[in-house]
């Protein structure tokens, strides 16, 4: 009845899955709750509800993949206990104890082989590029896609996004405001160009 969630629509992940599949890839899409559907037959969808389920499904899928693209806005904390019955009103103060979730991107970064790539997203509000580069290093990513919450039309609930892609060589490329389908193309094309070099 009640859960802790966020306003992420999943559109960025679905757009990237469609773009990869349209370029011939077999895609495994691990998706949290969303009303979106997939079009391309080359996308195998695994639906999950919790951060823990997403972690388990991602860790299971990753070893057989060429790489991973981590678009999900995974909750950083999860309730320690869940209620079996409705919590009635009337409590003076009601405290919910939270415990950290596992960092899926960092876990995949740990087990990543030399032949696999890993792309993460960084949603930042301040010191955007510095924080994004720190995330790239900390999670052992090859690319980080930076979204600034200061950019109008970027982030959750919009059909558009404005990104900067930073790779592990420290190269930084800024893109204009575009539809999420076009942003997905830019990300996939950057990846292809990087590995074709
Ligand atoms: N991510 C993940 N598992 C989590 C949290 C985040 O895999 N439990 C991934 C996201 O999918 C994204 C990247 O890590 O690719 C960065 O997510 P973000 O929310 O920007 O950063 P956090 O690592 O959660 O750090 P902070 O919230 O402190 O900025």
Taken as a whole, the chain contains a residue count of 197
Q: How far is the CA of 2 from the centre of ligand 1 (A)?
A: 23
Largest CA distance in the chain: 63
Instruction: Tell me, in angstroms, the distance from the centre of ligand 1 to residue 125's CA.
Output: 14
Q: What is the mean pLDDT of the chain?
A: 92
CB proximity list for 130: less than 8 A, separation 6 or greater: none
CA–CA distance, 120 with 45 (Å, rounded to integer): 19
Residue 166 is encoded by which pair of tokens?
Answer: 């930073």
Mean of the pLDDT values across residues 159-185? Answer: 93
Q: Chain centroid to CA 115: how far?
A: 21
**What is the dihedral angle through the alpha carbons of 115, 53, 42, 22, rounded to the nearest 10 degrees?**
-70
Whether 31 contacts 16, CB under 8 Å: no
Angle subtended at Cα 64 by Cα 190 and Cα 169, rounded to the nearest 5 degrees:
30
Ligand 1 binding residues, C-beta < 6 A: 51, 70, 72, 74, 76, 101, 103-105, 120-123, 135
Q: Assess whether pLDDT exceeds 90 at residue 82.
A: no
> Residue 127 — pLDDT band, cuts 50, 70, 90?
very high
Instruction: Return d(Cα 47, Cα 36) in angstroms, integer.
Output: 11
Strands 163-167, 143-148: pairing is antiparallel
Which of 5, 55, 76 for mutating ligand 1's site (highest number of atoms within 8 Å of CB)? Answer: 76
195/165: higher pLDDT: 165
pLDDT in tens, 24-76: 999 999 999 999 999 999 999 999 999 999 999 999 999 999 999 999 999 99
Fold of the domain built from segment(s) 11-74+96-196: Rossmann fold (3.40.50)
Cα(149)–Cα(154) distance, integer angstroms: 7
Which residue owns the Cα nearest ligand 1 atom 9? 105
What is the SS3 string spanning 102-144? Answer: CCHHHHHHHHCCCCCEEEEEEEECCCHHHHHHHHHHHCCCCEE
Atom 6 in ligand 1: residue holding the nearest Cα: 74
Residue whose pair of structure tokens reads 């405290």 in the numeric block: 95
Tens digit of pLDDT for each residue in 137-169? 999 999 999 987 777 777 666 788 899 999 999
Residue 118 CA to residue 109 CA, distance in Å, equals: 7
* d(CA 68, ligand 1 centre) in Å: 14
Rounded Cα distance between 59 and 28, Å, is: 12
Residue nearest to atom 21 of ligand 1 (CA): 122
Helix axis angle for 11-22 and 180-196, nearest 10°, is 50
Lowest-confidence segment of 1-15, 89-103, 105-119, 176-190 by average pLDDT: 1-15
Question: Which of the residues are catalytic?
Answer: 6
> Residue 176: what pLDDT?
93
Residue 161 CA from chain centroid, whole number: 14
pLDDT at position 159, please?
A: 82
């Amino acid at each position: 009845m009640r859960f802790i969630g966020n306003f992420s629509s999943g559109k960025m992940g679905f757009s990237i899955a469609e773009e990869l599949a349209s370029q011939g890839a077999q895609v495994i899409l691990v998706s949290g709750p969303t009303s979106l559907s997939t079009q391309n037959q080359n996308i195998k969808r695994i639906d999950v509800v919790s951060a823990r389920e997403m972690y388990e499904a991602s860790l299971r899928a990753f070893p057989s993949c060429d790489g991973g693209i981590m678009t999900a806005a995974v909750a950083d904390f999860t309730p320690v206990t869940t209620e079996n019955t409705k919590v009635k009103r009337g409590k003076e103060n009601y405290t919910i104890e939270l415990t950290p979730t596992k960092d899926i991107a960092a876990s995949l970064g740990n087990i990543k082989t030399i032949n696999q790539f890993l792309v993460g997203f960084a949603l930042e509000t301040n010191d955007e590029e510095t924080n994004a580069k720190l995330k790239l290093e900390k999670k052992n990513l090859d690319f980080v896609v930076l979204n600034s919450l200061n950019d109008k039309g970027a982030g959750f609930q919009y059909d558009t996004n404005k990104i900067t892609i930073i790779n592990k060589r420290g190269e930084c490329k800024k893109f204009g405001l575009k539809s999420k389908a076009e942003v997905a193309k830019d990300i996939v094309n950057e990846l292809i160009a990087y590995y074709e070099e």
